[in-house]
Amino acid sequence: MKNVTIKDVAKAAGVSPSTVSRVISDSHRISKETKRLVRKTMKELGYHHNAIARSLVTQRTDTIGLVMARPTREAFANPFFSGIIQGIAAVTQKKHYSLLLSSTADYREEQEETIKLIRNRRVDGVILMSSRSNDELINQLVQYRFPFVLIGRCAEQEGIPTVNNDNIKDTYNIVKFLLERGYKKIAALSGPEEYIFCQDRAQGYRKALDELADTEPLIMFIDDFKFEEAYQGVLNYLKSGQMRFDAILAFDDMIALGALRAIQDYGFSVPEDIAVVGFNDDPMVSYIKPALTTIRLPIIKMGEEAAKMLIKILNDENYKGEEIILPTEMIIRETV
């Protein structure tokens, strides 16, 4: 199967290549007749345009890149990432863009990969999912004036195109809710502090306690968003008897589940003795028993908005992006 090119079509139809090209782009200054003829010939010959050749001259790929700065294993274990991809994929599909996926083993690679994608002209813009601060990468992108959108928050700079939820406020609100429900001593269970959303949630937690209660904040950090880590951490904490709490706010569903199990295994019951709250609203957590109370993030929508924003930046000279903050929802189930 040889490739049918625009020249082949031109020759067969007895017109010039540029005419064929114009027919493809449906130029209005071409006669109906010629159009019909050329289209017929294209069909007969089985012509399909070559995206690569077109990109070379138009200087655009109609492709956006998604770079995920986590080891794939970690990245995909958490449904957050599939949700984001789902949202992005739906929009790119609809807007006739392609999606190039790039997951890097670590940090360093994130930067390299992103820059490579850009400099090699494979994509017109990128969506970043680095939840830690990677200021240098952002700086470079800004400096190159390369179109990008960040999912999450950029710690160091203002005015970066982002899609995020208001972690500080959201956490504040759930703590407030717990206090109103009568919980006196609320602990927090956080992932690694280097994640910006962990910092933000911790801040909202502290703020709420500071303003609305008179208890000292108690934040447990664990090394990874894993069930086992959370389980061990919370269990050790309970065993040490060092401090008491009647509610625990986990910064992620998976570790909320670990905490839940630790509490139960220690002999307490949820929510009678200790309440548990998570973050994300992974589909699965509504099916466990007791069903998890959690903050639902509009994950898919975050992906959609990021893709929409990037595509708009790409096509609208005057649009430079914005900071979109999406609302979340408290899903009260059985663990409170």
What is the pattern of x (binds a copy of itself, CB under 8 A) and - over residues 49-88? xxxxx-xx----x-x--------xx-xxx-x-xxx-xx--
Residue (34 or 215) nearer to DNA, CB: 34
User: CB 20 → a copy of itself: shortest distance, Å?
Assistant: 16
Of 197, 196, 145, the closest CA to residue 320 belongs to 145
**Distance in angstroms (rounded) separating the CA atoms of residues 135 and 156:** 7
Binding site residues, DNA, CB under 7 A: 3, 5-7, 14-19, 21-22, 24-25, 28-31, 33-34, 47-50, 53-54, 56-59
d(CA 122, CA 101): 11
Alpha-carbon distance of 98 to 318, in angstroms, equals 23
Give the C-alpha distances (Å, rounded to integers) separating 141 from 135, 145, 194, 334: 10, 6, 21, 45
Would you tell me how many other CB atoms lie within 10 Å of the CB of residue 108?
Answer: 11
Judged by beta carbon distances under 5 to 8 A according to partner kind, the member of DNA, a copy of itself, none in contact with residue 30 is DNA
Q: How far is CA 21 from the centre of its chain?
A: 38
- Out of 7, 44, 112, 144, point to the residue binding a copy of itself (CB under 8 A): 144
Q: Which does 122 bind (CB under 5 to 8 A by kind): DNA, a copy of itself, none?
A: a copy of itself
Residue 119 binds which one of a copy of itself, DNA, none, with CB within 5 to 8 A depending on kind? a copy of itself
Phi, psi of 14 (to 5 degrees): 70, 35
**Alpha carbon distance 229, 270 (integer Å):** 19
Min. distance of Cβ 13 from DNA in angstroms? 9
DSSP characters for 102-168?
A: EE-SSHHHHHHHHHHHHHTT--SEEEE---B--HHHHHHHHHHT--EEEES--SS-SS--EEEE-HH
Least Å distance between CB 2 and DNA?
A: 8
Q: How far is the CB of 36 from DNA (least distance, A)?
A: 10
Name residues whose C-beta falls within 8 Å of residue 239's C-beta, 6 or more positions apart in sequence: 266
Least Å distance, CB 59 to DNA, is: 7
Of 172, 225, 227, 245, which one interacts with a copy of itself (CB under 8 A)? 227
Q: Which residues bind a copy of itself (CB under 8 A)?
A: 1, 3, 48-53, 55-56, 61, 63, 72-73, 75-77, 79, 81-83, 85-86, 89-90, 93, 98-105, 116, 119-122, 144-145, 227, 257-258, 261, 282-284, 287-289, 300
